[in-house]
Amino acid sequence: MEGIVKPSGNRTKEGLLGEIIGLRLLSLHFFGVMIHSALLSIGKSVIITIMPTQRQKILDHLSKGTYTLQELSVELHMSIKELLLHLPHVQKSIRPPNRFVIDPAGCLNCGYVFKDRTKLHSPGKCPRCRETHIKEPAYHIE
Ligand SMILES: [Zn+2]
């Protein structure tokens, strides 16, 4: 009788031990996942906080004065490409009574004004005289 009971008792103990180890591994795994997702969210918030800083700089400048992309690029040490990436977001973030104002590009040869142009970058050539000598558009927030 004892001979039969004893191994079964041992088996239960082993089973319990296995279960504890299993739970430990499981909780370690969960801990790892938690750390991983925490790091991920920290990373994301770092990216999120970096982006508005650049946009905030653009916003601050355009609230104080009128700038072309070229001038903003020099002022803010940002490439035109980078500015063109942020500028539409800055433009969309402006709410009445404030306005994002575009001083339109113009042809320096015939005087054509690109007043209906919605694209923010400077046009390549004049649709009227085909001249490529174009005055850059400038932007400000009023
Ligand atoms: Zn022209």
Share of the chain above pLDDT 70, in %: 72
CA–CA separation, 26 and 38 (whole Å): 18
Share of the chain above pLDDT 90, in %: 56
Condensed to tens digits (0 to 9), the pLDDT of residues 19-33 reads 766 777 777 776 677
113 C-alpha to center of ligand 1: Å? 8
137 C-alpha to center of ligand 1: Å? 15
- Joined together, the tokens standing for residue 103 give 């001083």
Please state whether the predicted TM-score (pTM) of the whole model is above 0.85. Answer: no
